[in-house]
Amino acid sequence: MRNIVVVGGSKGIGQAIVNSLVEKNKIFNISRSAPLQSHANLTHYNCDILADDLPDLDTIDTLIYCPGSINLKPISRLKLDDFRDDFEINVVGAVKAIQHYLPKIKNGNNPSILLFSTVATKLGMPFHASVAAAKSGVEGITKSLGAELAPTIRVNAIAPTVTDTDLASKLLRNERMIENITERHPLKKFLKPEEVADLATFLISEKANSISGQIFELDCGIVNFKI
């Protein structure tokens, strides 16, 4: 049984990841709200990643950092504080967690770190300037730390397209918007949180032992296909 820290595991993609891992692993969830599920293998720490001290843990094999933001505005309406806030939750929070837990991860069993980006770093998408800038920072961290921490710790990131979570609810708030988003993707679908969790589960497993420094576009074809 491995020891996995999930930051932001109470909702959305993070919750799906916790659900997929909790039966066979010991999960430490760190978030401002408690997960809806309870399990003997799940321990929750109520914590604001940016404001509070992180809990000290004895043994860590994997760190998964899930918090993110979808702050979509025209550049004329984006304030400097919007850029700062997006950078704080996406980049600074991840760095804080990595720095705090790195000594324990180094001694872990098949140690790895998993972060989250977005397809908006590759696509030129209107109104995404702030979040795309922040998530580009996440991708830079992934590649830099993948090199720095090799061969001991693997570092990867997943860049999902629109996923059916509370965070993306404004993009999926009516049938017309759902239809438009579905049609924009070559595979004529968008993501369920469980699909992202499946890839996350693979990337932290022994089956992915040769993979590090990679950004995986879980994109329903929207990044690489023009059809």
| pLDDT, tens digit, 9 for 90 and up, residues 58-106 | 999 999 999 998 889 999 999 999 999 999 999 999 999 999 999 999 9
Q: Which residues pair with 160 in a beta bridge?
A: 218
Instruction: Locate the domains of the chain by residue range.
Output: 2-162+192-218
pLDDT confidence bin for 173, thresholds 50/70/90: confident
- Asked if residue 13 lies in contact with residue 66, where contact means CB atoms within 8 angstroms, the answer is yes
SS3 label, residue 154:
strand
| Token pair belonging to 9 | 């595991």
Whether 170 has a pLDDT exceeding 90, the answer reads: no
| CATH class of segment(s) 2-162+192-218 | alpha beta
Cis peptide before 151 (omega within 30 of 0): yes
User: What's the predicted TM-score (pTM) here?
Assistant: 0.95
Sheet holding 42-46, edge to edge: 42-46, 25-31, 2-7, 62-65, 112-116, 154-160, 215-218
pLDDT confidence bin for 51, thresholds 50/70/90: very high
pLDDT confidence bin for 42, thresholds 50/70/90: very high
Predicted pLDDT of residue 119: 95
pLDDT confidence bin for 52, thresholds 50/70/90: very high
Dihedral (CA of 95, 100, 101, 104) sign? positive
Rounded CA-CA distance 224/186 in Å is: 10
Whether 133 has a pLDDT exceeding 90, the answer reads: yes
Whether 178 has a pLDDT exceeding 90, the answer reads: yes
Rounded CA-CA distance 20/174 in Å is: 29
Helices (H), the chain: 12-21, 80-87, 93-106, 129-149, 175-184, 193-203
SS3 label, residue 223:
coil
